[in-house]
Amino acid sequence: MRHSLYVFLLLSLVACSSSIDDKKNYSAEELYSMAMDSMEDHNYEKAVKAFEKLQSRYPYGRYAQQAQMEIAYAYYKQGEPAPALGAIDRFIKQYPNSSSLDYMYYLKGLINFDENLASVMNAIGDQDPAERDPKSLRESFDTFKELVTRFPDSRYAPDARLRMQYLLDNLAGSDLHIASYYLRRGAYVAALNRAKEILVNYPTTPQTRDALQIMIQAYDALGMTDLRDDTQRILNQNLASNEAAPAAKESPQQPHAWWKFWD
């Protein structure tokens, strides 16, 4: 019992010695250093507390902006997308002229990219695919698009462009799954409308050919033979113009670590 009590007290003292003393007047540099040590130890919860303390005590210093970036990244690494996105939105609002704004847009797109990709694209049993919401994928695409539009020369732009094409393919695939679902259940008008959306919204994706095939089947089921034949001709032309196999796509890169805005 005495030995256990001794170990408990020892661990408590160690924990206290490594925590921030609210009564001590730390400098911004000291708080930042403590927070970064926690980041390097992958203790993101402790790092967030230190960065927030830094922002509270030194809201207008040069470290405050960097602290906000690190908070977003720490939440991302913890697997907490909601507070990470909230921290990013606050950064964008507070520092609209920051030289690190491109990175924050990249991180925002990346969080949404990772958030629901697998769950959106994987069917679950007999679930109606129309019930699966690709909202996070669309938000990710819109964020990456804003990044490459506003900062075309950013170090993150090339990877963002790769992810945008990947997102387009997956969004088109989601719509294609829904169109197929409607077709199988005899909802031919709904299948046609969804297939047409693929042609309009995702014309550069491979799913356009399958969308045309769905339209052909739907027109045939509806007895609209002229439109069926016209669509078949378009499909044949599409197949003829794409006989050569497409080049393999480069995979998106893994996320970068945080960047110091004063580099």
pLDDT digits (tens, 9 = 90+) for 112-170: 998 865 455 454 455 554 455 678 889 999 999 999 999 999 999 999 999 999 999 98
The structure tokens listed for 176 are: 């294609």
Cα distance between residue 133 and residue 156, in whole Å: 27
- pLDDT for residue 170: 87
Number of neighbours of residue 29 by Cβ within 10 angstroms: 13
By the 8 A CB rule, do 95 and 65 touch?
Answer: yes
Apex 254 CA angle, 40 and 94, nearest 5:
65
Domain ranges of the chain: 26-97
CATH architecture designation of domain 26-97: Alpha Horseshoe (1.25)
pTM: 0.73
